């Protein structure tokens, strides 16, 4: 029982955090707010899925937030109908979406090339990519905000079923379910765990380590582009700093959800709890009549508490596994 509780600690923390917020601010107990939490979590959630693929393979992808910013701005630039701030091309939204996903995949390929072929540290490569993409975003768009996006382009982020349930929420939850299935029931998923656990042993066992790593980075890039499409539609505008700083929340959600930064350990469902926990904290603090000055502090402390709890459960699990008292 204790083991079960500790293994699902993030969901228990989520439950108690939600109860605590509702007890203090009863207005949080509404369908609309619940949907807001899910919607708020959707962009972060999509990025987290990509990060988990890389983390499980024992790699980092710091560039996902810049992939989001870059593809969103370039996509909006190509599709915008605004005569001054767009490219003037007004490309068909379907084509632009394909191009955005292609750009995301391209970023993943480039990252992989440097990491796999040139053996450069993934942390450094993706950090450099993060900076480079931010720079290219400036060059491309002269730092302007892109708006006047066609409704069909903005639909994924902006449309809600029955005016209440955003499509982005369904997409993000479905992606988590599909990704968990991929990790649990496909060769690709099992290979990622093996590679993250011990790369040399995985190679010796005949696993195509480089190809799996490439796929993980390509998926991360494409999910970054997908998040960009959703976010651009939601905001109906794209700014140069879109997504900036999100990588910290991506890591926080993954770690809170029990994904090991050393690789080879974690699931999709734990980080989903982490994503929702961050969503509850952010939305709860927005609604509560709390002084503005406290918001960042409270948010930071709650995240820290969740990470500490995760570390405690990891220590206990280690003891159970080794039989140490």
Binding site for other proteins (CB under 8 A): 27-28, 30, 32-33, 36, 39-40, 43, 84-85, 138, 142-145, 147-148, 158, 160, 163, 166, 231, 234-237, 239-245, 282-283, 286-287, 289, 292-293, 295-296
Nearest approach, Cβ of residue 282 and other proteins (Å):
7
184 or 241, CB closer to other proteins? 241
Nearest approach, Cβ of residue 235 and other proteins (Å):
5
According to DSSP, the residues that pair with 166 across neighbouring strands are 160
Measured CA to CA, the distance from residue 64 to residue 174 in angstroms comes to: 20
Nearest approach, Cβ of residue 221 and other proteins (Å):
20
**150's torsion region: left (phi>0), alpha (psi -120 to 50) or beta?**
beta
10 or 68, CB closer to other proteins? 68
Structure tokens at 257: 């959800």
**Which burial class, exposed, middle or buried, applies to 270 when counting CB atoms under 10 A from its CB (0-12, 13-18, 19+)?**
buried
195 or 280, CB closer to other proteins? 280
* Exposure class string for 90-122: b at 16+ Cβ within 10 A, else e: bbebeebbebbbebbbbbbebbbebbbeeeeeb
56 or 154, CB closer to other proteins? 154
Structure tokens at 160: 């809600």
Nearest approach, Cβ of residue 181 and other proteins (Å):
29
Asked if 124 and 59 touch (Cβ cutoff 8 Å), the reply is no
Structure tokens at 164: 């209440």
235 or 269, CB closer to other proteins? 235
Identify the CA nearest to 299 among candidates 283, 323, 317, 316.
283
156 or 269, CB closer to other proteins? 156
Nearest approach, Cβ of residue 76 and other proteins (Å):
11
Nearest approach, Cβ of residue 125 and other proteins (Å):
18
Rounded to the nearest 10 degrees, what angle do helices 31-56 and 269-287 cross at?
140
């Amino acid at each position: 029982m204790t083991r079960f509780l500790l293994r699902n600690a993030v969901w228990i923390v989520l439950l108690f955090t939600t109860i605590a917020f509702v007890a203090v601010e009863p207005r949080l107990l509404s369908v609309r707010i619940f949907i807001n939490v899910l919607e708020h979590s959707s962009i972060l959630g999509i990025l987290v899925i990509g990060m988990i693929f890389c983390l499980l393979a024992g790699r980092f992808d710091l560039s996902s937030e810049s992939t989001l910013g870059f593809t969103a701005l370039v996509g909006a630039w190509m599709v915008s109908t605004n005569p001054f701030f767009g490219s003037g091309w007004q490309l068909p939204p379907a084509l632009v979406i394909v191009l955005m996903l292609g750009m995301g995949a391209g970023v993943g390929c480039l990252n992989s090339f440097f990491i796999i072929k040139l053996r450069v540290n993934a942390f450094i490569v993706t950090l450099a990519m993060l900076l480079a993409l931010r720079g290219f975003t400036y060059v491309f768009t002269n730092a302007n905000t892109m708006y006047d996006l066609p409704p069909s382009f903005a639909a994924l982020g902006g449309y809600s079923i029955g005016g209440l349930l955003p499509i982005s929420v369904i997409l993000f939850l479905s992606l988590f379910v599909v990704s968990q299935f991929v990790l649990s029931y496909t060769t690709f998923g099992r290979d990622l765990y093996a590679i993250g656990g011990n790369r040399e042993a995985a190679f010796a066992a005949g696993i195509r380590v480089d190809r799996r790593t490439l796929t993980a980075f390509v998926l991360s890039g494409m999910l970054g582009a997908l998040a960009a499409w959703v976010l651009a539609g939601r905001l109906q505008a794209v700014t140069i700093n879109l997504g900036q700083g999100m990588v910290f929340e991506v890591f926080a959600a993954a770690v809170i959800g029990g994904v090991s930064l050393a690789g080879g350990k974690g699931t999709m469902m734990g980080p989903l709890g982490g994503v929702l926990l961050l969503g509850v904290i952010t939305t709860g603090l927005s609604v509560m009549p709390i002084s503005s000055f406290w918001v960042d502090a409270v948010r930071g402390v709650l995240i820290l508490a969740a990470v500490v709890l995760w570390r405690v459960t990891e220590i206990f699990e280690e003891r159970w596994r080794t039989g140490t008292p």
